Copies of this chain bind each other. A is one copy, B any other.
Amino acid sequence: MNGETPERPSSSDLSEYFELLKFETVGADPMRLRDCVQCATWLKKWLERIGADVRLVLPPRTGDFASVGCPPVVFAERKGDPGAPTVLIYGHYDVQPADPLDAWKTPPFEPTEKDGRIYCRGSQDDKGQLFSFLCGLRRFLNAPKGPVPTLKFVYEGQEESGSGALTRLLTERAAEDPESPVFRSRLAADVLCVCDTGAAADLRPAIVAGLRGVTHFTVRLEGANRDLHSGAFGGVAPNAAQAISELLASLHNPDGSVAVRGFMDDVSEPLPEELAAAEASAPSDAATEVEIGCPPVGGERTLPLVLRNSFRPTMEVNGVHSGYGGPGSKTVIPCAALAKLSMRLVPNQNPKTAMAAVERHLKSHCPPGMKLFVEDITGEAPALKLPLSSPVFRLASAVLEELDPRGAVFQWDGASIPVVSLLARVSGAAPLLVGFGQPSDCIHSPNESFSLRQFALGSAWAEKILGAL
């Protein structure tokens, strides 16, 4: 790392960062809608102070549950110098739920600095990355070293739960209507900057060359009309806890591969240069074991780790709940069960086709006596795959080498930013995903944190790339 990168953000940047973190923006939770609206309003005011025209937008109400009370999307535009390029900046102000609450060492929505790190839900994902980029962008605008690009901003509040509102805005009638704030041509841009991804080991910069797609869904089983006594009805009533276990177990083969017929059909293999580049930047099995605290035996155990994480789809049970879980015992046969699942998709997999295959599998494997419900299908975002040799990647590589003499590596991120493919298509912009996350930030986990050094890197990156584009 060269000497140019400031090691600590300014105290005014930090104080704004803390303000942003305190909004409890769990976008998936209707109880947190007020916090989301307040946070979006805070972003609107911030963007107005740097000269942008800002609107908070909601999809048109259609009467269905999905459109009632969802967090608004922040759309903004700041005109640049004539002839300068247009940069579209995407981020999300929503965060994952904070639970399990008792695993947090500090209150999850009270930013707390300790040993150069800020602990808070969202301190990294994505409020920290989003705001470090904004701070660098403001620094650039204060002392531009070249033509100032036109800046467009899209910040949504549902990235963690499928980007429902933004997807509707970008795909439904609003996008065709010249009066609408999300009229397609208003989003036209040359480059789409996203600061929501990770750097490589030891904070070596990384450019994301691929993202997995994602679909979330909920599976419910209903058996008897009530929880039943496990003695009086044992051997008689079907057990929803046993049934959901059997149903979920059926999703994988003994080797860890996905057992859903048709699910893997369209999976395309990575190119040799992609696999080589991914291998070059991937952590070792041993380092991963240290990081996660157990053997890295998830996914298809017959394949190497980097392939499983970057180029293979997954099917994860994010949660399963049925029956009693309190102290002691409660001898019931549970009558209902709930599972939350998500799948990550790779290039060439169609989210609708994959989900249809999963629904067929669930129906055909539904244990006897149970009624099956597959609900809350959200996301349905395809994977993103970018060409390694694009001009924007060459430019970004040069800028990142200025920032860190080790230069940038390419990464195929196992995670998803569901709406990026769609935004890229609507805006016509070339996606440029560079972020400074590290596994130790514990995003989505208790005690999420972001170091001030990472924050400073995000700002430096924004300042430099906006001057270089």
Chain A residues in the interface with B (C-beta under 8 A): 27-30, 96-97, 99-100, 103, 160-162, 198, 212, 214, 216, 218, 222-239, 241-242, 244-252, 288, 292-301, 305, 308-309, 312, 314, 316-334, 337-340, 342, 344, 368-371, 376, 378-379, 413-416, 439, 442-447
Contacts and interface: CB of A to CB of B under 8 A. Distances in A.
A368 B413 contact: no
Given A97-B330, A330-B319, A344 B234 contact: yes
B234 A328 contact: no
A244 B245 contact: yes
Contacts of A446: 226-227
Contact of A334 (B216, B241, B319, B342): B319
B248 A242 contact: yes
Contacts of A324: 97, 99, 318-319, 340
A458 to B, nearest CB: 18
A246 B244 contact: no
A441 to B, nearest CB: 10
Contacts of A27: 328
A331 B299 CA distance: 16
B297 A368 contact: yes
B320 A238 contact: no
Given A297-B368, A327-B28, A334-B317, A414 B444 contact: no
Interface centre among A160, A214, A230, A325 (most CB of B within 10 A): A230
The quantity of this chain's copies bound in the complex is 2
A288 B236 contact: yes
Contacts of A297: 238, 368-369
- 8 nearest CB pairs, A to B: A28-B328, A231-B415, A225-B293, A235-B299, A319-B323, A235-B308, A249-B249, A245-B248
B318 A331 contact: yes
A245 B317 CA distance: 9
Contacts of A415: 229, 231-232, 234
B369 A294 contact: yes
Given A232-B415, A323-B318, A444-B229, A298 B331 contact: no
A307 B206 CA distance: 64
A241 B319 contact: yes
Contacts of A235: 298-300, 305, 308-309, 312, 314, 344, 414
Interface centre among A239, A298, A344, A378 (most CB of B within 10 A): A298
Nearest to A217: B329
B327 A318 contact: no
Given A216-B331, A231-B414, A333-B298, A340 B320 contact: no
Nearest to A331: B342
A247 B320 CA distance: 13
A160 B312 contact: no
Interface centre among A97, A328, A445 (most CB of B within 10 A): A328
Contacts of A294: 222-225, 237-238, 369-371
A419 to B, nearest CB: 14
Given A212-B231, A234-B309, A298-B239, A322 B322 contact: no
B368 A295 contact: yes
B234 A299 contact: yes
Nearest to A125: B229
Contact of A229 (B300, B327, B443): B443
A226 B105 CA distance: 13
Contacts of A241: 248, 317-320, 339
Contact of A236 (B161, B309, B331, B442): B309
A466 B374 CA distance: 57
Contacts of A329: 28, 160-162, 216, 218, 318, 340, 342, 376, 378-379
A295 B30 CA distance: 36
A367 to B, nearest CB: 9
A328 B161 contact: yes
A318 B293 contact: no
B296 A237 contact: yes
Contacts of A247: 245
